[in-house]
Chains A and B, each alone.
Chain A
Amino acid sequence: MKQEKRQRFFINDNIDILREILKRLDGASLGVAACVCRLWCSLARNDDSLWEHLCFRHVSGPPAASVKSVVLALGGYKRLYMVCVRPVLSRLGAESESDRRRVRWRREEVPVAVVVQLSLSLFCIDSYERLHGNNNAAGGIIPSDASASSLMFLCNPINV
């Protein structure tokens, strides 16, 4: 009996499908996925659109086209997510993995878009301060070790 040789399916041969799958992951899972192999790692690191989906996943309606250019200019979606969106969402008590479009905050439902707007503002300050750091060769006002970042308060665990 002739056995048909089944064609094996390797996900790594089909990067488009892989990308579609990774797009739907939440932040923590995406981080784990980045540890699987080099291909997945490079996708997670370099493909900013994955992170773009993560940032705006719960926002109803696609963000304006101008948002993308602004975010890219300020440092990219991955940085936006890591530095601002994720800590802000977790601080405000939202479960970023849930499918909700609104965040429950202080007995009020706030559209996630508002939260993202706040994150964008903070992200802009972060980007500006990094500009500071780069221009410090001439002995600027801020010490160039730039450990003084305005967003450091977001890094601290909340004292519940």
Chain B
Amino acid sequence: MILQSSKSKEMITVNQNEMVVDEGLLHDIMLNSPSLHHLPQTTHYNYNYNYNPFDDTTVSWINDDVSSPSQSQLTSTALHLPPPPPPPPLIDHQQTELLLPTEQQQQVEEDSAIRLVHMLISCADSLQRGHVAHAASLIDAMQSLQRHVTTASAIGKVAAHFIGALTRRIFAPPLTDRHGGVGAVANDDGGVLYHHFYEACPYLKFAHFTANQAILEAFSGHSSVHVVDFHLAHGLQWPPLIQALALRPGGPPSLRITGIGPPSPDRRDALRETGIRLAELARSVNVRFAFRGVAASRLEDVEPWMLQVRQEEAVAINSVMQLHRLLGSDSGIDSVLGWIRRLNPKIVTVVEQEANHNQTGFLERFTEALHYYSAVFDSLEACPNEPDKSLAEMYLEREIGNVVCCEGPARVERHEPLAQWKARLEKSGFKCVGLGSNALRQASMLLSLFSAEGYCVEEKEGCLTLGWHGRPLIAASAWQPFPLTPDPHPHPHWLP
């Protein structure tokens, strides 16, 4: 269904610079739909077309949806959302010649956004029940409804990504590709996207600075230290640690970094290049430094002997958004936590997304993901426009694709909330080390440098979370293994 104006063939144009969307708008839509009072402050649309949100066929079909008991049950109990508002009456022919006043247009946008959210959830519900044809027709309806919601807004983007993910889930065969079919950048493996995500919003910076603070405190007094990074990427976490170690009272220790990362697709050795850069930096500030790269496409494939840990050095394990990838099989996470523990590290820093995307039920997972990524995109919207955010959004799109489309071993984005990680780590023999007031203060100061109001850092039982408008989105914690009984037969991975 294409919308065309009677007078001209103008497409909808929105003067993006002037459209100011209330930051909490999307979040509020997700939480309590009746709040249509949060209207964007100024909107300049250039609409000039026949306004007809729904085809005749779609209207009746949606009415059916509303009246079905499963739908209303769904909306009123499981999700605490009110039943979707009835569609507005079709504007009769005489009125279509007039331009709609701005407020009504905003109303249209809001209504469409809310309706999209409802339709997304009911589509997921149909998929869960196996009604694939119904889900497919919902996708069509959503795609036409999507034209009313500008993709410059956060909800437009989120909706587009989720609709795309659902489409792939329905129409594409079961995916073995980790990326859920998004983009043809199979070679990239996320290097560039990760970097843009690092720059565009504070989540990764918060993770790095907080983990570094814990590692620095754990290393105090040791002259030989070794950091194992589960995902080296461009090594952006380590320059501040190198600098802090260089300046620590008593002089710098000798530092070794072992970086784990996926193997490079082309002939380049990305890990080695990053290692060389880190070595350059360390050399310039007079810190004795050594680097080792371990290329492994999955974390489960890493064996402790590859890390070449020496007995006299203090070890820190750093995992930023990597442990959840192991949750595909119970044995994966247990074996990795087991060998971590046997290495007897001084500190294990764990940063994970604060969301429950590992539920077995598809609908619960989908709904949770919708809430979570709406908050993330909202927060991204509030960040400054430079640097360019589109690649950061693509990074998130990949995550969404993986959560929604993939199943089995292909689904690696199995986020779990902090409470579950705590239980898991405690069961494996670790105890939580409080992150301390220094870390909290540093994180808060770092956040205040971002010109977006709305981010909040909270401390809870020694762990820090960074969130958006009260909703925690990423959680950082530090752990130490309980002392092991001394082993009369040292493990083969200890080097003499």
Contacts and interface: CB of A to CB of B under 8 A. Distances in A.
Contacts of A66: 246-247, 251
Contacts of B449: 87-88, 91-92, 153-154
A41 B402 CA distance: 56
A125 B239 contact: yes
Secondary structure of the B contact surface, majority rule: helix
Contact of A125 (B240, B268, B450): B240
Contacts of A159: 451-453
Contacts of A138: 268
B273 A156 contact: no
B286 A69 contact: yes
A141 B234 contact: yes
A119 B449 CA distance: 11
Interface stretch (A17-25, A54-62, A144-152): A144-152
Contact of B444 (A87, A106, A147): A106
Given A154-B449, A157-B451, A121 B240 contact: yes
A21 B249 CA distance: 32
Nearest to A84: B449
Contacts of B341: none
Contacts of A110: 441, 445
B469 to A, nearest CB: 16
Interface stretch (B66-74, B75-83, B163-171, B379-387): B379-387
Contact of B198 (A70, A105, A150): A150
Of the four ranges (under 10, 10 to 19, 20 to 34, 35 or more), the interface on chain A belongs to: 35 or more
Given A121-B244, A147-B387, A132 B285 contact: no
Contact of A105 (B270, B273, B388, B448): B448
A132 B246 CA distance: 21
A1 interface: no
Given A66-B246, A158-B451, A73 B445 contact: no
A142 B242 contact: no
Contacts of B277: 128, 131-132, 135
A115 interface: yes
Interface string B39-59: 000000000000000000000
**Residue among A127, A128, A149 with the most chain B CB within 10 A?**
A128
Contacts of B446: 118
A43 interface: no
Given A105-B445, A127-B281, A148-B387, A64 B273 contact: no
B210 to A, nearest CB: 12
B263 interface: no
Contacts of A148: 195-196, 199, 387-388
Interface in B251-292: 251, 268, 270, 273, 276-278, 280-281, 284-286
Interface in A89-120: 91-92, 105-106, 108, 110, 114-115, 118, 120
B236 interface: yes
B102 interface: no
Contacts of A154: 449
Nearest to B196: A148
B144 interface: no
B191 interface: yes
A83 interface: no
A30 interface: no
Contacts of A88: 449
B138 to A, nearest CB: 38
A124 interface: yes
B442 interface: yes
B269 to A, nearest CB: 11
Contacts of A149: 199, 387
Nearest to B188: A141
A152 B199 contact: yes
B306 interface: no
A148 B442 CA distance: 24
A118 B445 CA distance: 8
Contacts of B451: 91, 153, 156-159
A92 B242 contact: no
A129 B236 CA distance: 8
A70 B246 contact: yes
B139 to A, nearest CB: 35
Nearest to B201: A153
A46 B83 CA distance: 69
Given A74-B284, A121-B243, 7 more contacts: A118-B442, A121-B209, A121-B244, A127-B239, A128-B239, A138-B268, A142-B192
Shortest Cβ-Cβ A-B pairs, 4 listed? A121-B240, A73-B284, A128-B239, A124-B243
26 contacts: A64-B249, A69-B286, A74-B285, A91-B448, A91-B451, A92-B448, A92-B449, A110-B441, A114-B445, A118-B446, A120-B243, A120-B247, A121-B209, A122-B240, A124-B239, A125-B236, A128-B236, A128-B277, A132-B234, A132-B277, A141-B191, A141-B270, A148-B195, A150-B199, A152-B199, A156-B451
Interface of B: 191-192, 195-196, 198-199, 205, 209, 234-236, 239-240, 242-244, 246-247, 249, 251, 268, 270, 273, 276-278, 280-281, 284-286, 383-384, 386-388, 441-442, 444-446, 448-453
